[in-house]
Amino acid sequence: NIFTKLSIKVGANILATGHNLDDTVSTMMSAFMNGDFESIRRLKPVIPPLLPGQPKKVKPLITTPEIEDLYYVYLNKLPVQECNCPHGEITPIKGVKSLIDKLEEEQPDVKFRLFSVFRRQLIPLIEKNSIQKEEITITSCKICGMPSSSEICAKCRRVRELQEIKDKKYNLNIEVSSIEELGNDIILLDVRTKEEHIISSLPNSINIPQDEISTRWKELKPYKKTHKILVFCNSGRKSYSVALKLRNLGFKAYNLKNGLSSIKNTLT
């Protein structure tokens, strides 16, 4: 919606997005597993405007593997945002993407084949289905003005639901200067690699690398009711996603804001 609004603002009639092969196949598979065939139908390389005055959406990189995008960026020394969205680590699509990546180790062309099946066979089948042929009236959401099949779009409904929550205190970050406020019963969790942990880390910290937390989080179970867990990495970015995941699992988890670099800055 943000890109669509910006396109309208600058008068652009075509909106190109950077969705690559990995993004598309992961989203298609996730939607398929949820039985959301309407979402699959919308995952086309070209999507015409849903309302007058809106841009046509195109995905020029839809058949380009993610790794090739990275090679192109690196070889041409293009600027890139290296950090990931911390909430992206706990989305269902992330798990589906990991599964497809593992399949690709044995079948190097599996992403191309999956995309071909969806695009050439499943999507045409969905469009021919009588249920999908039913006329759906697309109107403007009365709040944001974006296309919606109902009076208020799904995004604005979610925002409204969040606004109705009375307790909005869900801050995971904690400053170095505020660590003492957590009390004495603290477990320090280093989510950097094993090699980084060996070279330097905080005293008495436990090391569970970020990419192993999904399989090893039960090692922290003995501390679930008795301790608070302070998660850290070098910058505070990777550790944030781990702290969020642990919080969703019922742990009293916090993220050390700016990671170990904040401690170094305090000492200098």
pLDDT at 216: 92
- Distance CA(160)–CA(150), nearest Å, equals 15
Q: Where are the domains of the chain?
A: 2-134, 137-168, 173-267
Provide the residue type at 253 as one letter.
Answer: A
Kindly report the pTM of this predicted structure: 0.62
Which stretches of the chain score pLDDT less than 50?
Answer: 132, 267-268
CA distance 244 to 37: 30
Cα atoms in the 13 Å half-sphere on the side-chain side of 83: 13
Q: Are the C-beta atoms of 216 and 243 separated by less than 8 Å?
A: no
CA distances from 102 to 97, 106, 117, 122, 143 (A): 9, 7, 19, 23, 42
Residue 29: how many other CB atoms lie within 10 Å: 19
Q: How many CB atoms lie within 10 A of CB 75?
A: 8
Q: Among 108, 7, 111, 110, which Cα is nearest to 51's? A: 7
CATH for the 2-134 domain, from 3.30.450.20, 3.40.50.460, 3.40.140.10, 3.40.50.620: 3.40.50.620
Q: Does domain 173-267 have CATH number 3.30.70.260?
A: no
CA distances from 100 to 66, 94, 107, 175, 178 (A): 13, 10, 10, 38, 42
Reduced to 3 states, what is the DSSP secondary structure of residue 152? coil
3-state percent helix, strand, coil for the chain, nearest multiple of 5 = 50, 10, 35
| C-alpha to C-alpha distance for 153 and 157, rounded to whole angstroms | 6
Are both 2-134 and 173-267 of the same fold?
Answer: no
How many Å is the Cα radius of gyration of the chain? 23
Which residues make beta-bridge pairs with 188?
A: 230
